[in-house]
Chain A
Amino acid sequence: MKLVTAIIKPFKLDEVREALSSLGVQGITVTEVKGFGRQKGHTELYRGAEYVVDFLPKVKVDAAVTDDLVERVIEVIEGAARTGKIGDGKIFVFPLEQVVRIRTGETGAQAL
């Protein structure tokens, strides 16, 4: 099993969710996050005071999937989240040791 974590542009969230659903991914966790990468921040001007905003708002999507699904999950996230402009985000993949469905006590791939 793998945990796929994607940092994407907030307005791409719906497309990514639809793409993952159509692949059969049963659930995702979404978090609003801030960060910086190659995309520059912007400056805000309040009367005479100028503030540089370095951290831009992004959405983090976590999806736990079976090994055989990983490549296609990465593919569809890439496809759905891409605009071609700087700041589209990144996808990280981690090995996942264990999953437990709390309600039933199922573990492993059964719990996904």
Chain B
Amino acid sequence: MKKFLLSMCVGLGLLLGASAAMAQVTDAAPAVAPMMAPEAPAAVAPMVDAAALAVAAAPAAEPTAEPTPHKGDVAWMMVATLLVVMMVIPGLALFYGGLVRSKNMLSVLMQVTVVFSLVLVLWAVYGYSLTFGGEGLIIGNLDKAFLAGITMDSVAATFTEGVVIPELIFVAFQATFAGITCAIIVGAFAERIKFSAVLIFTAIWFTFSYVPVAHMIWGSGGLLIGMGKMDFAGGTVVHLSAAVAALVGAYVIGKRVGYGKEAMAPHSLPLTLVGAALLWVGWFGFNAGSALEANSNATLAFLNTLIATAAAVLAWCVGEALLKGKASMLGAASGAVGGLVAITPAAGYVGPMGAIAIGLAGGFLCLWGVNGLKKMLGADDTLDVFGLHGVGGIVGGLLTGVFVSPLLGGGGDADFSIISQVSVQALSMLVAAVWAGVVAFIAFKVADMLVGLRVTEDEEREGLDISSHGESAYNR
């Protein structure tokens, strides 16, 4: 049954992929033609700028020139997209992988890799269109399904009037965000979930939660952006929504066999630090890339991502030293991730000192998230997805509303009101969290009905590497 369903999923994916490719071929054909046209200087230029050169060559004929992408922006957005890919594989995969027992190492690497890949394909097939096509309140439309109509000449708007980037790189950049969001969730039910259940859950949750939440906050005409929600790089869209889905998953799937009785110490903290460091570096693509241009706003997000994270590392270490007597390496790595999550929604909006304050708050509160809060919640959130991404997302989302104030060094207008912005932030996060949680619950139940959520107790004890994937991470 399980294998059948899996192969069905794969088959369906291939079919969709093939039709998408065909749709693209037909669309791409006319786009290629102008470049082959007898505009001699343009023909030898790199393709991206062919249109720009063509326009420049004939300014008299076309006085109201369409904005064309700048090469610097294009280059930066390609690099930023690559950095986000690196955040997921190997960054997130190793950050998570080092924290599980060695018998489950490969299963976590595998879940992160395959969930990421699945979402990237779904994004191109219909996710992009439903998120960024159309101007619906809750969701976009299917006009750009299979990336219909998107050619090398298509452009996407940035935050600066008259500045555009190629829509193809915007599709790719946003695809990585959808992918990392779904990959973050797997940390909550690691070491016990069935691989097929992960994939079914991912497909459903991506479609009915990530897509509408991202549209509501980032898409044109979206409900929450209309309310004035500020989420620079996805503190709510990515981290909070993933964390709520993760927490629901931890509850629905139940605790690991032996949880609280047997030792479940991480098998390789060095790998976890490697992963955390790759996340930190990759996060510059995530946050600074969210400016969508290689401009000064991107550099502000860049600096904030650097120092807020450093502040969070220090905060976590100090907190741990005070509360437990020792500052731990895992604490430093966790603090970095907590700080990165917290600064994400604020990255391009607040000033550097505001970023340090957000980092400190994120570090301390995420430490509470994996200790006091975790005990209160009582769920076996294996890798503390909620403690880091949920708490960090909430702290960052609320404090964005505070530190955007020009009085606190932020980029808000002179009449900026902290109280009203914080209320908007809180309300929009509540909407996103409830939405993500309800969809997650339904998605887990559907996956449970179709294939069952958990592996058997024997398989869990043996480890998912052998029982689900037929291989072991470390052979002697």
User: Measuring CB to CB, which residues of chain A are less than 8 angstroms from any residue of chain B?
Assistant: 44-49, 51, 53
Contact = CB atoms under 8 A, between A and B. Distances in A.
Contacts of B326: 45
A49 to B, nearest CB: 7
Interface of B: 99, 263-266, 324, 326, 328, 330-331, 334, 370-371, 374-375, 384, 387
B265 A46 contact: yes
- Among A44, A47, A48, A51, chain B packs the most CB atoms within 10 A around the CB of A47
B370 A47 contact: yes
B147 to A, nearest CB: 41
**Interface residues of chain A: helix, strand, loop or mixed (majority):** strand
- Among B265, B331, B374, chain A packs the most CB atoms within 10 A around the CB of B265
A47 B371 CA distance: 7
A44 B331 CA distance: 13
Nearest to A47: B370
Nearest to B324: A45
A8 to B, nearest CB: 25
B371 to A, nearest CB: 4
18 contacts: A44-B265, A45-B324, A45-B326, A46-B265, A46-B266, A46-B328, A47-B330, A47-B331, A47-B334, A48-B370, A48-B375, A48-B384, A49-B264, A49-B265, A51-B263, A51-B264, A51-B265, A53-B263
Contacts of B263: 51, 53
B35 to A, nearest CB: 55
Contacts of B330: 46-47
B370 A45 contact: no
A104 B375 CA distance: 65
Given A47-B330, A48-B374, 19 more contacts: A44-B265, A45-B328, A46-B99, A46-B265, A46-B266, A47-B331, A47-B334, A47-B370, A47-B371, A48-B370, A48-B371, A48-B375, A48-B384, A48-B387, A49-B264, A49-B265, A51-B263, A51-B264, A53-B263
